[in-house]
Structure 1
Amino acid sequence: MSKNVSEQLLDILQSVGVDKIYGVTGDALNFFVKAIEGRDTVDWIGMKHEGNASFAAFGHSQTSNNLAVCAGTVGPGALHLINGLYNAKKERTPVIAITGQIDQKQQGTNFFQEVDLKKVFDDVCDYQAVIETPEQAPMVVQRAIKIAMANNAVCRIELAANVAEMKAANEEFIHPIKKYSSRLIPDENSIIEAAKLLNGATKVGILAGDGCRESRAAVLELAKKLQAPITHSLRASDIFDHDTDNVVGLTGLIGNPSGYNAVMKCDLLLMLGTDFPYIDFLPHQTKTIQVDIRQENIGNRTSVSLGVWSDISSFLELLNPRIEQKSDSDFLDKLRGNFKDWRANMKEQASPTRDHEPLHPQIFADLVNEHAANDAIFTVETGTSAIWAAHHMSFHNQRRLTGSFNHGSMAVGLPSAIGAQFANKNKEIWAFCGDGAFNMSMQDFITAVKYELPIKVLVFNNSELSFVKLEMEEAGLAASLDALHETNVNFAEYAKLCGGDGVRVEHAEDIDAAIMQAKASKKPFIIDAVVSSGALSLPPHIGLKEAIGFGTSKVKEVGQVISGDKGQWDNLKKELYSYFD
């Protein structure tokens, strides 16, 4: 029996290891979904929202290092995929989006649900395979897959409703697709110059990003030779965890003082595999060496004295033998001492003895850190959830961390946890979610129940968009409490209503037991953590601009209190209680 274009497409996807497709079906995808239905080697994962489907595909790919696939039907369904696909693009994660399209004979007539998807997806995709004929299909489909895998990119395959059911053609063009590996080796002059600069510097700081994932040991070897502190990006938290030698933490808005000072007070900065975007947290007069596999990143955020186009492993393999052992460790020792003190302070802030209610959110993160499996995977929302994770979690051993670190989207936590659990059936998956972000994606908790995924969701329930509040105050604005307010359900009861399990925690003495209950659960589980919206997390360095902003904001808020604004008075009281308790 001859196969149709949809079946041929599915054959090609399966040949590269695709066994899950996340989506919401519709008319243009019906033949594709029927093709899946007849096989036991690939599953259609029916999501409640296409936006969650694309985030789930991201989570699957990010935690498995394999190509993942999401799908949405014509116009409206396809458009919902965009946000998660942008996240995959900016995290450099290979994802294929399959989108339906209206019948070819109706295209260009402003037909019902017609959208020019090629134009819409042009920025997010490295390549778009618009299948116009069965003869063309195998060639453009394979090209999309190869580009996605080679570039760690997003590509789209468009399947018009009438094409989906056509008889497949050109089977002879189908061939095995492999993910090739190669090395980008720097020229010798770059190595000689880098060694000269590093050997001649007194205080070297290393800023390390996700590009160091395959070269952790070599980075540590270099850092020890140079007596250099390692500051890392948020995405690299699971490469250079808090307990690793030479690590002094994060810089940036959610960083810590030792991480900031290691970057800003060195006399030579070595940037390895990072396009760290926050220029206010980078030095601009310091000698800088930047090494990156993407040439366009070199000098993108700050001027560099030496740029090296190379993968980090190849660079360090050639560099490390040329580096002289430094004996002066004063710079490193001071920063490591400061980092140790900062961690001790974070531990104090997370003590369950701080039992003021609503509870301090730090306590939950710290106890999850204590109890979670050594190889657990954590998906973290954008916002204060990321702050508590970065400050109180050590992503040691085989732990992984993923989120929307470059795109900065809300609603990534729950759906990417779903994808991560499908890709890692035997691992413990935790999602750290703010209540605002969880409200955006909570419908797909039902999906987790349907597929019996034992994900553990920690919802920081403070009835507020807390990170947005921080941004408003930094800009010198009084917090707009009505706009920031979140009206929430009882998330634990919601979990049970969906068929999962959960517990609402309002007292410090109950936190530990709740975390252990979540760990042991075979069902999707929500910890509804009722926490204070007054918990403050200040940047590692307050400049004049930020000081003026925060100061102006507080003056305005006090003025509103004096004028009788009860909401602002409650807001200030929460911040004071949280800070001094």
Structure 2
Amino acid sequence: MTADNLEWINVGHADDLPEGRVKTVTARDVSLCLSHFEGQWAAMDNHCPHQGGPLGEGSIEQGVEGKCWIRCPWHGWDFDPLTGAPPGGHKDTGQKTYPVEIRDDEVFIGLEPEPERARTVTDAMTETMINWGVRSVFGMVGHSNLGLADSIRIAARDGKLSYYGIRHEGAAAFAASAYGKLTGQPAACITIAGPGATNLLTGMWDAKVDRAPVLALTGQVQTQVFGPGAFQDIDLKSAFDAVSRFSQTVLSTSKHTELMSLACKNAIVERDVAHLIFPDDVQTQPSKAKPRGPKGRLGDTAIKPSDADVEAAAEMINAAKRPIIIMGHGAVHVRDAVIAFAEKLGAPVLTTFKAKGLIADTHPNAAGVLGRSGTPIASWFVATSDLVITLGTSFSNHTGIEPSKRIIQVDFERMQLGKFHRVTLPVWGEIGEFCKIMAQTAEKSPDAEDQISELAERWAIWRTEKQSRLAEEKDNGIHSFAVFDALTKLCPADAIIAVDVGNNTYSFGRYFETCGQRVLMSGYLGSIGFGLPAAIGAWAATRDLEAFEGRKVVSISGDGGFGQYAMEFTTAVKYGMDITHILLNNGQLGKISKEQQAGHWPVWETQLSNPSFAAFARLCGGHGTRVTETEALEKAISEALDHKGPSLVEIMTDPELV
């Protein structure tokens, strides 16, 4: 090909490379070793054919009879700068060379016109993933996932999905888990082999135990070096077996789009983690496979309870004088049907902590959260009830549903029914279907008590008591009630709130009154550090799905939780994420301090050494403010919520006042 037919790419100024030196340059997407020696310029493929060593990081060496050689920095292989041939002229180990021209002291390298990009295995699998509804990918690009990453890059460039590069793979896992909890649809997270993949595991366990659909896509070493102990080669299949419902390695001979379809289907149907392992060499192999999708592969999820169970449930409900409903996170997508059923019965609706916000605390039937993070209102109504209708709950010890009560338990998973102890009536069926049928079949007993008026009275008592707790403030920091009282007044009704773990979360459950917000948390795993990464996942959902479009995202943590993934604040800045983080800083792992005290242990190693988190937020490029007085709370929170972009309010709180 003549010089006229080449594309000439400027790779820098001649003064950037002194005589007798080499450097790595990039022309288009081609990595090249540029050399300058004896008044000559030359360029060759940057990757040594031995093990891919970067020749541009090597050196020019004088050989026999003064001949110059480019020497690889890894293992000392030599190449002629002008021909690319090694000593002895063995062409099969030589390097491709490229023409170089100096024009007005600028260095140009001639490349052949870029060929049309060949369609790859990962292109076909990415297209299939998109067809199944995946719209967001979180992760970190690295050496063993570059082929997969390039397929995702193409899809992102074409507007088919969004990619968010995080600072730690654990944050990608939590973001994907939160996305699945919020939407019921899977997001994906990608990592390299070895440590990148293992960094996902905590977040994958969070998704698994809270039944959130997630796709984990991990790179892997080349298939030819599986097993002997190559760099970053670990048994990823075994590592993910316990945490995933589906885990498979993508091989050259695999049915690639079918593997991705099965991964997506398992994530969606089983509400679980699906894992695919991508060996480096398989990712870029050519593929003609047609992408697949969910058409014809997903059935209706409406499971109606049996006639006998409907009749028995109606009989129990019709006879109850003080029926209550306990709504768990399993009812997240049918909460309107649950509330309509409660309104007909005049029954209080209590929620588990994971289900906080599924009924607004401002609703006449709302009784707040039951359990350790709950309110005395909920405790009163469960204690005085004569029938408990539990919908989508797991009877965790954190919630503390009294098993001696007459209980109707409804769940679409048969193994959840009576899982820990017997219940009066276990009903297999989808919760929404049960509520619709009961709203037509069951009747409020003529002897039923007026629990709705009683609810209003109990709320008034609790609100008065909460306000009285402000008198407990001394000089050790702000009361946590003051924080959540201010946030209750200011937080948008349609906000999505991601909470961490610790005393800050207990206080949130007890004091914050919802009026329509959705709450996300690390439920059964209870993992510290969940809050901010979860907010990143929620923010991505507001960009993907119309149901969440334009909704404000708020995250809440203590100083211990924020410190786990503090650098993800720069991720929020990078992508302009409209997230407000409320940080309760008490200078310690407060929940652990209290547990040590309660167990008559000395308080040990729970104190924290913190920077100014507000200043940190500003240094990262976001909005940051520090609050030390209760009177300044509302102004600081209001300004942070109004800020278009990442903001952080650091509130100095008293560790004893939770």
> Partner residue of 1:378?
497
Where does 1:73-222 land on structure 2 (aligned, <5 Å)?
73-169=192-288, 171-172=289-290, 174-177=292-295, 180-222=299-341
Determine if contact 1:349/1:363 at 8 Å carries over to the other structure: no
Where does 1:321-336 land on structure 2 (aligned, <5 Å)?
321-327=440-446, 328-329=448-449, 333-334=453-454, 336=456
> Partner residue of 2:28?
none
How many residue pairs were aligned? Answer: 531
Q: 2: distance between equivalents of 1:11 and 1:173?
A: 6
Stretch moving more, 2-11 or 97-106: 2-11
Q: 2: distance between equivalents of 1:297 and 1:17?
A: 28
Structure with the higher fraction of residues in helix conformation: 1
1:414 aligns with 2:532: yes
Q: 1:346 and 1:59, CA in 2 relative to 1: closer, same or farther beyond 3 A?
A: same
Amino acid at match of 2:654: S
Amino acid at match of 1:338: R
> Partner residue of 2:651?
529
Stretch moving more, 370-379 or 204-213: 204-213
> Partner residue of 2:144?
28
Where does 1:550-561 land on structure 2 (aligned, <5 Å)?
none
Amino acid at match of 1:343: R
Q: TM-score, normalised on structure 2?
A: 0.77
Where does 1:502-513 land on structure 2 (aligned, <5 Å)?
502-513=624-635
Give, in angstroms, the shift of residue 330 of structure 1.
5.3
Give, in angstroms, the shift of residue 268 of structure 1.
2.1
Where does 1:431-510 land on structure 2 (aligned, <5 Å)?
431-474=555-598, 476-480=599-603, 482-510=604-632
Q: 1: distance between equivalents of 2:452 and 2:551?
A: 36
Q: 1:134 and 1:346, CA in 2 relative to 1: closer, same or farther beyond 3 A?
A: farther
User: SS of 2:639's equivalent?
Assistant: helix
Give, in angstroms, the shift of residue 458 of structure 1.
0.7
1:281 aligns with 2:403: no
User: SS of 1:453's equivalent?
Assistant: coil
Higher relative CO (Cα under 8 Å, sequence separation at least 6) belongs to 1
User: SS of 1:442's equivalent?
Assistant: coil
Q: 1: distance between equivalents of 2:387 and 2:480?
A: 37
Q: 2: distance between equivalents of 1:68 and 1:274?
A: 25
Determine if contact 1:414/1:438 at 8 Å carries over to the other structure: yes
User: SS of 1:238's equivalent?
Assistant: coil
Q: 1: distance between equivalents of 2:399 and 2:535?
A: 32
Amino acid at match of 2:232: Q
Stretch moving more, 379-388 or 49-58: 379-388
Determine if contact 2:372/2:399 at 8 Å carries over to the other structure: no
Q: 1: distance between equivalents of 2:399 and 2:392?
A: 19
Q: 2: distance between equivalents of 1:422 and 1:343?
A: 35
1:403 aligns with 2:521: yes
Q: 1:326 and 1:225, CA in 2 relative to 1: closer, same or farther beyond 3 A?
A: farther
Superposed CA offset, 1:528-564 (max 9, x none): 111111114xxxxxxxxxxxxxxxxxxxxxxxxxxxx
Larger radius of gyration: 2
User: Which of the residues 124, 132, 136 maps onto 1:8?
Assistant: 124
Determine if contact 2:321/2:449 at 8 Å carries over to the other structure: no
Give, in angstroms, the shift of residue 180 of structure 1.
4.6
Superposed CA offset, 1:95-154 (max 9, x none): 100001111111121222221111111121111131122542221111111111122221
Q: 1:346 and 1:301, CA in 2 relative to 1: closer, same or farther beyond 3 A?
A: farther
Stretch moving more, 380-389 or 95-104: 380-389
Give, in angstroms, the shift of residue 36 of structure 1.
2.8
Q: 2: distance between equivalents of 1:269 and 1:213?
A: 19
Give, in angstroms, the shift of residue 274 of structure 1.
0.9
> Partner residue of 2:59?
none
Instruction: Return 5+ residue gaps in structure 1 as ranges.
Output: 537-581
1:68 aligns with 2:176: no
Q: TM-score, normalised on structure 1?
A: 0.86
User: SS of 1:28's equivalent?
Assistant: coil
Report the RMSD for the aligned CA atoms in angstroms: 2.2
Instruction: Return 5+ residue gaps in structure 2 as ranges.
Output: 1-115, 544-549
Superposed CA offset, 1:347-368 (max 9, x none): 44368x9574411122122212
Amino acid at match of 2:633: I
Determine if contact 2:497/2:555 at 8 Å carries over to the other structure: yes
Q: 1: distance between equivalents of 2:338 and 2:460?
A: 21
User: Which of the residues 450, 453, 459 maps onto 1:339?
Assistant: 459
Superposed CA offset, 1:332-353 (max 9, x none): 65455223311332244368x9
